[in-house]
Amino acid sequence: MDGRLVAGEVKQQVVQHVQQLEKHGTEPLLATVQVGDDSASASYLKAKHKAAVEVGIRSESHHLPADTSQDKLEALLGQLNTNPKVNGILVQLPLPPGLDEEKVIERIIPYKDVDGLHPINAGKLAAGREELVACTPKGVIKLLNYYKVPVAGSRTVIINRSNLVGRPLANLLLNRDATVTVCHSKTPNLSGMTRTADILVSAVGKEIFQIRGDHVKPHSAVVDVGLTRVDGKLRGDVDFDKVNRVAGYITPVPGGVGPMTVACLLENTVLAASIQIGLKF
Ligand code: GUN
């Protein structure tokens, strides 16, 4: 499953939505916040800003030092919340130690929360109402849809229970009538579980491969959300060459889920802007 290809299609749609918003007097603006100098965060943000430019979304970046106080960070979010020109706010995670991530996320006004992490947005999703939904899980669903992987009635196994990936993805899949199992570090007999999956999503991010050929069901769909740098090269959780011989569908790393996350952030930014002005696409 080619994430660059599908992300390109999502971005074309976003370009059209940007034009519609402009006709209604709104030039969508995404504000990003980075605290500290984590190199992975910096490279993700660079990709997000570059992609925003490509689709005609304006973006502004706020880069604060690692020793920024909770109050100062929350004060910036307060300003972005009330600035009518700002349609979307993204705080790149993880935050440096000492900052309360939950409090920071809750400080973002829900209708500008383009990461879909605010408890209001996560709660709506869990209740079956999808508005601003976390970007990576949304991207995974778009990939499965594009390649017509049957989701309804499928047995789906997710290895990750984070608020950013596992939980929202489980809810998206449940909303689409999959039978979902969420696995984590304390799950016994993980490979016994993964071998039952029609759709397997792995988001662990460790140097050793988590998913090898004998861990997957023949003809299944394997989605690799893991991301690690090994000897300077980006790699996922899945031993691609081996698993590719068994699975029916597989995402590469890079070029799989990563570009989808970025495309969905852009989509969420125009969606947030449309919610703010009461426009329906
Ligand atoms: N860190 C890793 N992925 C993400 C993401 O999708 N959003 C934010 N805000 N931080 C991240």
Which atom of ligand 1 is closest in space to residue 41's alpha carbon? 1
Centre of ligand 1 to C-alpha 231, Å, is 23
Query: Which of 33, 43, 46, 92 maximizes ligand 1 atoms within 8 Å of its Cβ, making it the mutation to test the pocket?
Result: 92
Q: Is the CB of 90 under 6 A from ligand 1?
A: yes
- Note whether 28 and 58 are same-domain residues: yes
The CATH number linked to 108 is: 3.40.50.10860
Domain of residue 105 covers 3-126+259-277
Residues designated catalytic = 48, 92, 115
- Note whether 248 and 267 are same-domain residues: no
Centre of ligand 1 to C-alpha 135, Å, is 8
| Entry pTM | 0.97
- Note whether 237 and 263 are same-domain residues: no
- Note whether 67 and 44 are same-domain residues: yes
- Note whether 13 and 98 are same-domain residues: yes
Q: Tokens 């394997």 map to which residue?
A: 222
pLDDT in tens, the chain (281 residues): 999 999 999 999 999 999 999 999 999 999 999 999 999 999 999 999 999 999 999 999 999 999 999 999 999 999 999 999 999 999 999 999 999 999 999 999 999 999 999 999 999 999 999 999 999 999 999 999 999 999 999 999 999 999 999 999 999 999 999 999 999 999 999 999 999 999 999 999 998 888 999 999 999 999 999 999 899 899 999 999 999 999 999 999 999 999 999 999 999 999 999 999 999 98
The CATH number linked to 232 is: 3.40.50.720
Where on the phi/psi map is residue 255: left (φ > 0), alpha (ψ -120 to 50), or beta?
left
Alpha helices (H) in the chain, listed in sequence order = 3-23, 39-55, 70-82, 101-107, 119-126, 135-146, 166-175, 190-194, 240-244, 257-277
Which atom of ligand 1 is closest in space to residue 134's alpha carbon? 6
Q: How far is CA 148 from CA 10, 115, 135, 143, 170, in A?
A: 16, 26, 20, 8, 19
Q: Is the CB of 92 under 6 A from ligand 1?
A: yes
Q: How many whole angstroms from its chain centre is CA 11?
A: 15
Give the per-residue pLDDT at 148: 98
Q: Is the CB of 261 under 6 A from ligand 1?
A: yes
Which atom of ligand 1 is closest in space to residue 93's alpha carbon? 10
- Note whether 77 and 118 are same-domain residues: yes
Query: Which of 34, 115, 140, 264 maximizes ligand 1 atoms within 8 Å of its Cβ, making it the mutation to test the pocket?
Result: 115
Centre of ligand 1 to C-alpha 169, Å, is 14
Give the per-residue pLDDT at 209: 84
Q: Tokens 């504000």 map to which residue?
A: 31
Write the CB contacts of 192 (distance below 8 Å, at least 6 apart in sequence): none
Write the CB contacts of 187 (distance below 8 Å, at least 6 apart in sequence): 159, 193
